[in-house]
Amino acid sequence: MPSTPVRPEPVEGRPSPTDGRTPFDGLRANGLYFARGEHSAEHGFTPPCRRSAEHGFTLVEVLIAMLIFGMIAAAGVALLSFSIRAQGAAVARLDDVDSVERLSSILSADFAQAVERPNRDERGVMQPAFVGTGTSVRLVRGGWSNLDGAARPSLQKVEYRLEEEAIDRVAYPMLDGAEPYPPGAMLSDVRAMTLRYRFRGAWSDRWDGTQGAALPQAVELTVTRRNGTMLRQLFLVGTGYEQGPPEAEHGR
């Protein structure tokens, strides 16, 4: 006859394998075990706070974001300001270099084309062809272009002088007795200008045509800028930009 299965007797304190309980039920009953996500307020546990998108940001997060944005904006403004200042300084420097080159070119042309032509000033007083002091010089130059065919000579009287920290070039429409044109500033920010005149190996601070010739052989110009920069240039007088023959150039 078939045998009847023997059911084991439950042991006290241990769950029976057939009563549907697990080994953790006893721990849970004694408050020693909690399932995942299950906490007891009696033991000081609180459910985690989950923030949804509807709650937004906290005040601290907003302040930190504003601080970072302010730092980035300040850096951008500083970079832009530096770029603008650098560009302005570069443009000013280039303009100054251009002014120096223009002054040198015009002085070279005027001195090189100087001629021995006495003239009269606005009062009708006769003046030498070339008159120079330590801070100004007046001469008569040739090669004045007459594109419009005006009734005037090809000679022009010009003057250079220092006025209000600027080297001005003054031109005259006529050689004798005419009022000058308005002066044109050739170089600004000039603190001092010194002119010297060379003749027969000697330098002089003045020239009035009584040194034995109507024109000096060379002129030295020394300019001291307001920032302390000093410029020194030498110009030949009366050369007229005449070049030697090709044979002489090849023979050098």
Helix (H) or strand (E) segment spanning residue 77:
helix 59-112
Pairing of strands 230-236, 218-225: antiparallel
- Predicted pLDDT of residue 133: 93
pLDDT tens per residue, range 130-177: 999 999 999 999 888 777 777 777 899 999 999 989 999 999 988 888
Listed residue (155, 114, 154, 122) closest to 138, CA to CA: 114
Which CA distances in Å does 216 have to 202, 204, 238? 10, 10, 8
Q: Are 135 and 195 in contact (CB under 8 A)?
A: yes
pTM for the model:
0.61
pLDDT tens per residue, range 11-59: 555 555 555 565 555 555 555 555 555 555 555 555 555 555 556 788 8
- Predicted pLDDT of residue 235: 94
Helix (H) or strand (E) segment spanning residue 25:
helix 23-29
- The angle at the Cα of 107, spanning 102 to 113, to the nearest 5 degrees, equals 130
Average pLDDT, the chain: 79
Would the pLDDT of 199 be above 60? yes
Give the whole-angstrom CA distance, residue 244 versus residue 166. 37
Beta bridge pairs of residue 159: 138, 170
- Predicted pLDDT of residue 106: 93
Q: Helices (H), strands (E): how many in the chain?
A: 3, 11
Tokens coding 224: 């001291």
Tokens coding 213: 């010739």
- Average pLDDT over every residue of 105-121: 92
